[in-house]
Amino acid sequence: MKGLSGLIGVDEAGRGALAGPVVAAAVAARSDFYDTEWCKRNASRINDSKLLSKEDREALYEKLRWLERSQRVWIGVGWGTVEEIEDLNILGATQVAMRRAVEQVFSSARISPHEPDPLFEATTVAETNESTLAHWQIFVDGKPMKKMGYPHRAFVQGDSRSLCIAMASIIAKVARDRTMLALDCEYPHYDFGSSKGYATPLHREAIKSLGPTPIHRSLFLRKILEEDPNDDQSEFGFG
């Protein structure tokens, strides 16, 4: 990280679900954060959120929010709605969610996406050196997101390789899970509390017997709604 002010990790949750929003998170930390005692004690526990137990995810989520309150990291969460998934497809909605999450971090960490106008006299040299995106690196899990709007580096399985991406993975997963738990109260027959919108057997059966809800992604349901009820072998799996 030589020459950088810090890193911004970005990840998403819910991209392969049948229902609910896709949620992205961005976590920014200055370079010196990675040398702190807190980081040394906790880094080995922070991993791809899907590899953590629910209890560990929730505990680490609260620790990251504590770091945010003490301004040791900055966190942004962005949402891609079901309507945006329908209009833009899941990739487009994911990129929208990621851009929103990153822009929240820009605002809270006071990072300018562009070099400031040199004629703006209130901007000091010190502020320019630390608070422009040129001095930060964005890391994204997966493949490059061409329409995210900001330069970044992408890493396949980045949530297992990069601490800042892993932190974003935990924030995105817990934020989305809590949303799906709330939606389970609104639509109690679709197993959202357990499935989180993914294709569990109970969720699939509810879709076939009750029909989709307004928070289902219609393009994702085609195979389920076309399944032969006499065929026990479905090709549709978990996303």
Domain 6-182 is classified in which CATH homologous superfamily? Answer: Ribonuclease H-like superfamily/Ribonuclease H (3.30.420.10)
pLDDT digits (tens, 9 = 90+) for 60-113: 999 999 999 999 999 999 999 999 999 999 999 999 999 999 999 999 999 988
C-alpha to C-alpha distances, 212 to 51, 87, 222, nearest whole angstrom: 30, 18, 11
pLDDT digits (tens, 9 = 90+) for 10-30: 999 999 999 999 999 999 999
pLDDT band for position 222 (cuts 50, 70, 90): confident
* Residue ranges of domains in the chain: 6-182, 186-226
Measured in degrees and rounded to the nearest 5, phi and psi for residue 121 equal: -65, -20
What is the rounded average pLDDT of the residues 41-63?
Answer: 91
Better-predicted residue by pLDDT, 124 or 173 = 173
Better-predicted residue by pLDDT, 205 or 234 = 205
Better-predicted residue by pLDDT, 99 or 219 = 99
Both tokens assigned to 26: 């961005």
Predicted local distance difference test score (pLDDT) of residue 25:
98
Say if CB 29 and CB 6 are below 8 A apart: yes
Predicted local distance difference test score (pLDDT) of residue 23:
98
Say if CB 32 and CB 161 are below 8 A apart: no
Output Rg (C-alpha) for the chain, integer angstroms.
Answer: 20
pLDDT band for position 121 (cuts 50, 70, 90): very low
- This prediction has a pTM of 0.87
Gap between the Cα atoms of 81 and 217, Å rounded: 10
